[in-house]
């Protein structure tokens, strides 16, 4: 263990970046901020969401806090990524810095414990080991390093936590690493939040290859999946290897050649501007409970080849499996740039969100003809990776340069990966770039889906300024051109306090659409004009803000809110005596409960409901469209 005192750390938390409209689309670029502005390099970032509270997230990075050595920075947010705090070095309770070498991966277990695994300094001799530190107080201090037993010479340590209550291994944390003495991928597990670890066991096939750059994910029922890059010296082919365990890692089935990939170089390395980067295969799994639940995905940077969807030598492709990795589907291209010239896309990282969306981030040179500057893009798919939409998410360019002095003594090396996580209807990437001179960890909060604010007139309680109850609505996206055909629709629930319906359209491509919202006994309303929608950006529309938010001003004021007219009981797009008669007849028959004639939602049919429909009938209110 190597312990030293920490140098002073910059307390600057100012960020002068601003959002602006992307010139290439109708989408905006989200505001970027640094996790912890300072004078130290922060590279090779990872990020995780806390399963106990999704507003809590944690990130880690390699930092060069003290001359001649490296340690790990840890950063935290408690408000969903709006603000971050942290330190450029993890410290024990006595204030001593914990020395690490590299590859910090941060995960959070089922109890909310933060666990960082890393390549550790040698205990003796010169061989790197696998170290782990954990924190139960959101990084205020960390445990002393725990060393995984049985490690030869470690590289590219990765970890994952089983946070699925459906899993028989619920609560376990796993580590996989490449061993250069025992030549293969090895595995260890912890059942006590990282405090102790099992002796390592081999998970890869017997061939003598370190298989550097593995990835691990966990299924909802505890299945373990590991992928890695593999080069076959006989065929000179590049492959992605794959292993699976259904008993917590006690036994593995493994294959070095799960599928062929067309990487430009061995081990997916990318050399540009004198920088050694990569496009290593990265794996994730759909655990959304949706129609593609259990689907495995692997992304990596590949080159154009016969039968490949890659358009040049550096595209991000995605492979999928719907049978737990037994077979893999043909690759699809992730980045959707259309420039026929060579452009670089690399450092792919991705997550699968709560809606089943496949969210891939990567560095991209598409907006720089000379290919010497980069931005970060998000590509998102809601159809299992068959089609993607792109969104620029970095509000500045950066030109990658070598770190001086070199990281680990490797010329041009700046780290191996970036990170991304998701929770609710937001995606949080964490990357690093040198746009301000030093490499710093950056982030952006990306919201997706749609938020429609809407009030049915009769249900608004004037005294409480709330709806009497929550109620269902149906929202349509309609083509902006006549005959305004329905493109997508979602049934959802309207919140009684904030009047918002949060939803996700899964069938509409990026474009402009009219919004129509239908409530069971109110006149449908359309947005006053077409609104831009993309699966990569949240669409917000507030019908309650003013009368002209609805086409034809088809709204009425109640308590300084603009509301949809209530009383279209027979849903024929006009409020008239037929609706009045229906309400009157239901009142006369002492109907109650969830009746379409219950205009105010109190489950009682009375004169209040009759007055609402009569008033609107007298106004000759009827539905209007473009």
Please, are residues 380 and 391 in contact by the beta-carbon 8 Å criterion? Answer: yes
The packing angle between helices 577-588 and 607-618, to 10°, is 170
The C-alpha R_g of the chain, in whole angstroms, comes to 28
CA 150/CA 363 separation, integer angstroms: 37
Predicted confidence at residue 407, as pLDDT, reads 80
Contacting residues for 313 by C-beta, under 8 A, at least 6 apart: 264, 303, 304, 342
- What was the pLDDT predicted at 406? 81
Is residue 380 scored above 90 in pLDDT? yes
d(CA 475, CA 273) in angstroms, rounded, equals 49
Quote the tokens at residue 176.
């996989």
Average pLDDT of the chain to the nearest whole number: 92
User: Nearest Cα to 478, choosing from 515, 453, 509, 450?
Assistant: 515
Q: Report how far apart, in Å, the C-alpha atoms of 371 and of each of 49, 166, 175 are.
A: 34, 47, 37
What pLDDT sits at residue 83? Answer: 95
CB atoms within 10 A of CB 137: 11
Residue 9 has pLDDT above 80, yes or no: no
Choose the weakest-confidence range: 194-208, 237-251, 269-283, 472-486: 269-283
What confidence score (pLDDT) does residue 349 get? Answer: 98
pLDDT greater than 80 at residue 293: yes
Q: Which helix (H) or strand (E) holds 613?
A: helix 607-618
Confidence class of residue 354 from pLDDT cuts 50, 70 and 90? Answer: very high
Alpha helices in 404-454 (DSSP H): none
Is the pLDDT higher at 19 or at 602? 602
- Per the CB < 8 A criterion, the answer to whether 3 and 144 are in contact is no
CA separation for the pair 344, 315 (Å, rounded):
7
Rounded to two decimals, the pTM is: 0.92
Residue pLDDT, tens place only, 578-596:
999 999 999 998 877 789 9
Gap between the Cα atoms of 282 and 349, Å rounded? 6
pLDDT confidence tier of residue 108, bands split at 50, 70 and 90? very high
Instruction: Read off the pLDDT of residues 388-418 as tens digits, 9 standing for 90 and up.
Output: 999 999 999 999 999 888 887 888 899 999 9
Q: What is the pLDDT of residues 492-528, one digit of tens each?
A: 999 999 999 999 998 999 999 999 999 999 999 999 9
> pLDDT-based confidence at 24, cuts 50/70/90?
very low
**CA 435 from chain center: how many Å?**
24
Confidence (pLDDT) at 67: 57
Helices (H) and strands (E) in the chain, counts: 2, 45
18 pLDDT exceeds 50? no
Reported as a single tens digit per residue, the pLDDT across 548-574 is 999 999 999 999 999 999 999 999 999
- pLDDT at res. 25: 52
- Count Cβ neighbours within 10 Å for each residue of 321-359 and write b for 16 or more, e otherwise: beebbeebbebbbbbebeeeeebbbbbbbbbbbbbbbbb
CA distances from 489 to 11, 450, 478, 498, 518 (A): 48, 12, 9, 22, 11
pLDDT band at 124 (very low <50, low <70, confident <90, very high): confident
Residues 426-434: what's their mean pLDDT?
97
Percent of the chain past pLDDT 90, that is, above it, reads 87
Distances (CA, A) of 6 to 69, 71, 218: 12, 10, 36
Instruction: Check whether 27 has a pLDDT greater than 70.
Output: yes
Q: Per-residue pLDDT for 3 more than 70?
A: no
Instruction: Using the predicted structure, report yes or no on whether residue 476 has a pLDDT greater than 90.
Output: yes
- DSSP calls for 177-219: EEETTTTEEEEEEESSTTS--PPPEE-S-SSS----S-EEEE-
E strand residue ranges, 437-510: 438-444, 446-447, 450-453, 460-461, 466-467, 471-479, 486-494, 500-503
User: What are residue 622's DSSP bridge partners?
Assistant: 574
Give the model's pLDDT for residue 594: 82
The tokens describing 290, both together, are 């949706």
Residue 125: per-residue pLDDT: 84
Q: How far is Cα 310 from Cα 317, in angstroms, rounded to an integer?
A: 7
Tell me the per-residue pLDDT of 48-69, one tens digit each, with 9 for 90 and over.
Answer: 999 999 999 999 999 987 655 6
Tell me the average pLDDT across 529-547.
97
- Cβ-count burial 399-413 (b if 16+ within 10 Å, e if not): ebebbeeebeeeebb
Mean pLDDT within 334-359: 95
């Amino acid at each position: 263990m190597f312990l030293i005192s920490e140098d002073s750390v910059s307390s600057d938390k100012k960020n002068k970046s601003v959002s602006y409209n992307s010139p290439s689309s109708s989408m905006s670029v989200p505001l970027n901020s640094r996790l912890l502005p300072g004078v130290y390099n922060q590279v090779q970032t990872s990020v995780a969401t806390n399963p106990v509270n999704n507003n809590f997230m944690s990130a880690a990075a390699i930092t060069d806090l003290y001359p001649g050595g490296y340690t790990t920075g840890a950063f935290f947010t408690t408000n969903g990524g709006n603000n971050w705090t942290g330190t450029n070095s993890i410290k024990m309770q006595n204030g001593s810095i914990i020395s690490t070498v590299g590859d910090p991966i941060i995960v959070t277990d089922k109890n909310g414990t933060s666990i960082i695994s890393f390549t550790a300094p040698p205990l003796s001799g010169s061989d790197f080991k696998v170290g782990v530190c954990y924190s139960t107080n959101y990084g205020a201090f960390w445990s002393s390093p725990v060393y995984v037993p049985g490690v030869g010479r470690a590289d590219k340590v990765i970890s994952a936590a089983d946070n699925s209550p459906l899993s028989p291994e619920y609560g376990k944390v796993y580590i996989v690493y490449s061993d250069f003495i025992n030549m293969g991928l090895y595995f260890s597990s912890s059942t006590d939040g990282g405090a102790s670890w099992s002796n390592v066991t081999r998970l890869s096939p017997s061939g003598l290859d370190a298989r550097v750059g593995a990835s691990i994910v966990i299924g909802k029922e505890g299945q373990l999946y590991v992928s890695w890059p593999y080069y076959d010296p006989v065929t000179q082919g590049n492959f992605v290897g794959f292993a699976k365990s259904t008993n917590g890692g006690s036994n593995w089935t493994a294959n070095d050649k799960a599928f062929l990939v067309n990487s430009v170089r061995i081990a997916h390395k990318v050399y540009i501007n004198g920088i050694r980067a990569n496009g290593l295969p990265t794996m994730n799994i759909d655990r959304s409970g949706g129609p593609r639940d259990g689907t495995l995905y692997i992304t990596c940077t590949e080159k154009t080849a016969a039968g490949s969807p890659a358009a040049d030598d550096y595209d991000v492709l995605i492979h999928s499996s719907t049978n737990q990795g037994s077979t893999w589907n043909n690759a699809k291209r992730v980045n959707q740039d259309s420039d026929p010239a060579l452009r670089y896309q690399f450092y792919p990282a991705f997550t699968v969100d709560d809606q089943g969306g496949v969210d891939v981030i990567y560095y991209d040179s598409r907006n720089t003809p000379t290919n010497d500057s980069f931005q970060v893009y998000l590509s998102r798919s809601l159809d299992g990776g068959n089609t993607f939409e792109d969104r620029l998410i970095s509000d500045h360019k950066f030109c990658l340069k070598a770190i001086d002095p070199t990281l680990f003594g490797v010329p041009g090396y700046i780290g191996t990966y970036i990170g991304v996580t998701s929770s609710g209807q937001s995606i949080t990437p964490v990357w690093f770039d040198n746009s301000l001179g030093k490499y710093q960890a950056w982030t952006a909060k990306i919201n997706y889906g749609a938020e429609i604010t809407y009030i049915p007139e009769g249900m608004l309680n004037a005294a409480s300024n709330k709806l009497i109850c929550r109620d269902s609505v149906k929202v349509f996206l309609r083509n902006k051109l006549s005959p305004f055909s329905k493109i997508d629709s979602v049934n959802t629930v309207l919140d009684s306090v904030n009047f918002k319906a949060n939803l996700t359209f899964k069938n509409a491509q990026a474009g402009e659409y009219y919004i129509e919202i239908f409530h069971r006994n109110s006149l449908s309303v359309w947005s006053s004009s077409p609104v831009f929608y993309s699966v990569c950006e949240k669409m917000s529309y507030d019908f309650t803000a003013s009368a002209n938010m609805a086409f034809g001003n088809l709204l009425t004021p109640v308590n300084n809110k603009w509301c949809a007219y209530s009383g279209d009981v027979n849903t024929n797009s006009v409020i008239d005596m037929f609706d009045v008669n229906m309400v009157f007849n239901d009142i006369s028959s002492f109907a109650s409960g969830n009746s379409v004639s219950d205009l105010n939602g109190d489950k009682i049919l009375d004169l209040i409901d009759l007055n609402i429909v009569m008033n609107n009938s007298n106004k000759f209110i009827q539905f209007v469209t473009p």
